[in-house]
Amino acid sequence: VENAIKAALITYQYRSRNGSEPSSESITSCMENQAPGSPNLSVISFYGGFHGRTLGSLSCTRTKSIHKIDIPAFDFPATPFPKLKYPLAGNEKENRQEEDRCLTALEATIETWKTKSPVAALLVEPIQGEGGDNHASAYFFQQVREISEKHGILMIVDEVQTGGGNCGRYWEHESWNLKSPPDFVTFSKKMLTGGYFSAPGHGPKKGYQIFNTWMGDPHKLVQLEAVHEVIRKENLLERVAETGDYIHQGLLGLEQKFPKMMRNSRGKGTFRAFDTSDPRHQVILIEKLRSKGILIAGSGTLTIRIRPTLTLTTQHAKIFLDALEICLFEMSS
Ligand SMILES: Cc1ncc(COP(=O)(O)O)c(C=O)c1O
């Protein structure tokens, strides 16, 4: 994410100079961290978004204070991400209004910051994976893309959590049917190493502009190739869809049995979640599930997130659902 932000800023400046070399004033002023060499530009992200803990990405992270406290931040804008009603099917009208509200806020913020610190890049997760498993529709992301293009802002889709297969496809942004692909896509987790890929022409313009000691640990690519081979040979993306559906049906059944304890089951593939009734219950349920051998975590203040391996089968999912049922029963009695 850190390098994708840098590449976006480099591309933005390259474009604004029409491809010419930086001025000599820029070359000297950047050594004093001053404009024009260190330009007054910003990166916009969404409230509830998580983009990492390194210095630049941390300024775009808007989940929990524990990640940010005591660390100086860039003065970057944030804007609301839709808070949709679940199930998505059946709440389309209200959800569209909520998405339009957020789109209006996004464009207003971009306008306001034009005089303060123009927005050069926009960072967004396909599903807010630590901020509460918040979803948005393809329509929302299509509009975000249009707004980014209209204002010459580079769009970075953060697929660190959603990429690599657990949503049932390699890249979740492919489900949006964008007219033009995002400028940058970041990945890690299921992809073994951390990195980004970019649209043609968005690479660094000179050697060492995007560089570090290990350069993403290239040997991980050899491992990733083997992982990819297993995903392909064993049809793991199909398995993800089947197991994900099984988990979803199981969660819906438990919602009916324990309506006071859980609601809003949602997700794609095996990237699943549900809400507990209050933050205390979230903590207790995670502890109880872990004590029964289920490795699970929270998302936001109410949500339980499910992020299994791609090899999970329906038999494994049944073990999880049975354990969850026992925990909910113990908590409600
Ligand atoms: C959506 C998302 N982006 C980026 C990151 C990377 O964070 P970091 O660079 O701190 O490991 C994570 C890690 O959990 C993530 O979930």
Q: pLDDT tens, 185-233? A: 999 999 999 999 999 989 888 889 999 888 878 899 999 999 999 999 9
**Residue 134: partners with Cβ closer than 8 Å, 6 or more residues away:** 48, 81, 82, 83, 84, 127, 128, 300
Confidence of residue 153 (pLDDT cuts 50, 70, 90): very high
Interatomic CA distance for residues 238 and 250, integer angstroms: 18
- Mean pLDDT, the chain, rounded, equals 96
Res 251: pLDDT: 98
Res 333: pLDDT: 85
Res 215: pLDDT: 81
Can you name the residues that pair with 196 across neighbouring β-strands? 186
**From ligand 1's centre to the CA of 52, what distance in Å?**
4
Res 203: pLDDT: 85
Q: For 290-318, write each residue's pLDDT tens digit.
A: 999 999 999 999 999 999 999 999 999 99
**From ligand 1's centre to the CA of 48, what distance in Å?**
13
Q: Residue 53: how many CA atoms within 13 Å on its side-chain side?
A: 8
Q: CA angle 286-160-312, nearest 5°?
A: 55
Interatomic CA distance for residues 272 and 18, integer angstroms: 45
Q: Cβ(159) to ligand 1 under 6 A?
A: no
Percentage above 90 pLDDT, the chain: 95
Which residue owns the Cα nearest ligand 1 atom 8? 52
Rounded mean pLDDT, 88-108: 97
Which residue owns the Cα nearest ligand 1 atom 12? 52
Q: For 168-186, write each residue's pLDDT tens digit.
A: 999 999 999 999 999 999 9
Give 188-218 as a DSSP string. Answer: -GGGSS-EEEE-TT-S-SSTTSS--SSTT-T
Nearest to 279 by CA among 253, 265, 259, 299: 299
Q: In this structure, what token pair is assigned to residue 223?
A: 């491992």
Give 85-136 as a DSSP string. Answer: -SSSTT-HHHHHHHHHHHHHHHHHHHHHHHHHS-EEEEEE-SSBTTTT-B--
Q: For 219-271, write each residue's pLDDT tens digit.
A: 999 999 999 999 999 999 999 999 999 999 999 999 999 999 999 999 999 99
Res 212: pLDDT: 87
Ligand 1 atom closest to Cα of 130?
16
Q: Cβ(54) to ligand 1 under 6 A?
A: yes
Rounded mean pLDDT, 139-162: 98
Rounded mean pLDDT, 2-17: 96
Question: What is the Cα Rg of the chain in Å?
Answer: 21
Does the annotation mark 258 as catalytic? no
The one catalytic residue among 93, 115, 213, 233:
213
Q: Are 82 and 99 in contact (CB under 8 A)?
A: yes
Interatomic CA distance for residues 39 and 27, integer angstroms: 11
**From ligand 1's centre to the CA of 236, what distance in Å?**
24
Does the annotation mark 100 as catalytic? no
Q: Is the pTM of this model over 0.85?
A: yes
**From ligand 1's centre to the CA of 197, what distance in Å?**
16
Q: Are 79 and 102 in contact (CB under 8 A)?
A: yes
Rounded mean pLDDT, 15-35: 97
**How far apart, in Å, are the Cα atoms of 33 and each of 18, 20, 30?**
23, 21, 5
Measured from the Cβ of residue 223, the count of other Cβ atoms closer than 10 Å reads 12
